[in-house]
Structure 1
């Protein structure tokens, strides 16, 4: 409500409030990651306990680096499965990205593990028949395996808009790369600008993705039930 004389001081925009509400699951996942990081140290994959971000599990996922610019999803919340129209576990995360944007997305993944860095992406869905307008936000957060190498990551993907016909894939409208471990200021990439490629952190190539019949895939998902939590915590090799 406006004050006397039309003074709108102290008014909170409903649009901004709605945006904050929509981004809440993503912020919860990121806050959980920061809570696990001791100072500037990247957390271990084995430290991840879904109970610490229970309200955001539908949108969260864990992934493993399989090549310098590629990572596959190991465990995913139901929202990612709904977007792709099948179980996404075992597939590259880039399956959710439009083919024309995958090189840029791969550069962001290379920063994630190579710097290491926190990566924020703003996305918009490809349009088409039965595919209404949709916007999305993604965060990628590096993790260390139990061997200490930077080859795992925690992430979250939230969308705004009706899913419609699947699969839904996204165009990148913005990338923000925030180096961790005190390695410099933020590096931002505006739309249409490639992110600079860092020196590879690992020389060994990962196992390439091989397509499998979705019906034969092992079902792995985040769920608030405790009988599933144990599976997520121990899902590392």
Structure 2
């Protein structure tokens, strides 16, 4: 895995480098995501408007993290269904990946969610009878859910070449993971935890208190008689 740890604003994105090879829709989806997030780490899922990626909609998808390393498709463009030869909503994203590369993709999904980071994967299809070679690219970019947790991904998957017989699955040839950094020019948001105030204990001011006068009864106190134990043999 190629992880250079650089800010995506300071380097040429993978999608820009491969846009001339027929993968232009990836660059459109990436530009839309970057425009939404602005100076934040990532946009919210609720901000995604299909009209913003209309030219790349058939290649786009949104997945939801349901367990570590497992993300299911909630929204998927028609190109993804064409690759699998069926409706793909509800399927794991790794359904498009060959078994020997699925663990790698699961690890990448976790890094995209947890770091957080964006990732571009270079993919190559299996080959065989009625399975001509296909090159593909997948783009993964994290989103926050309505609850504020990072559990969604806006992505895109596009293949170039004769699709042949479906389903088509891919091996990972190369991946580029790029950790996301917020705009360093903005002051960090510091959340302070203020402890609850302790209950006030009132201390009496002795200077304001009248002097204590011992109590004396007006009636002379009689000495209490002693109690005697009288032993009787009766």
1:67 Cα deviation (Å)? Answer: 1.2
Between the aligned partners of 1:151 and 1:18, the Cα distance in structure 2 is 28
1:97 Cα deviation (Å)? Answer: 0.2
**After the TM superposition, which segments of 4 or more aligned residues of structure 1 sit over 4 Å from their partners?**
16-19
Q: Which residue of structure 2 aligns with residue 82 of structure 1?
A: 82
Q: Which residue of structure 2 aligns with residue 38 of structure 1?
A: 38
Q: Which residue of structure 2 aligns with residue 128 of structure 1?
A: 128
Q: Which residue of structure 1 aligns with residue 214 of structure 2?
A: none
Cα RMSD, aligned residues only: 1.8
Q: Which residue of structure 1 aligns with residue 232 of structure 2?
A: none
1:19 Cα deviation (Å)? Answer: 5.1
Q: Which residue of structure 2 aligns with residue 169 of structure 1?
A: 169
1:47 is the counterpart of 2:36: no
Cα contact 1:40–1:180 (8 A) shared by 2: no
1:21 Cα deviation (Å)? Answer: 5.8
Q: Which residue of structure 2 aligns with residue 57 of structure 1?
A: 57
Between the aligned partners of 1:21 and 1:127, the Cα distance in structure 2 is 21
Matches within 5 A, 1:101-180: 101-180=101-180
Q: Which runs of 5+ in 1 are unaligned?
A: 1-15, 184-237
Between the aligned partners of 1:37 and 1:19, the Cα distance in structure 2 is 22
Between the aligned partners of 1:147 and 1:181, the Cα distance in structure 2 is 21
Q: Which structure has the bigger radius of gyration? A: 2
1:42 Cα deviation (Å)? Answer: 1.1
1:17 Cα deviation (Å)? Answer: 10
Cα contact 1:125–1:135 (8 A) shared by 2: yes
C-alpha deviations, 1:61-80, integer Å up to 9, x for none? 01100111110000100000
Cα contact 1:131–1:164 (8 A) shared by 2: yes
1:18 Cα deviation (Å)? Answer: 9.0
Q: Which runs of 5+ in 2 are unaligned?
A: 1-15, 184-234
Q: Which residue of structure 1 aligns with residue 91 of structure 2?
A: 91
Aligned length: 168
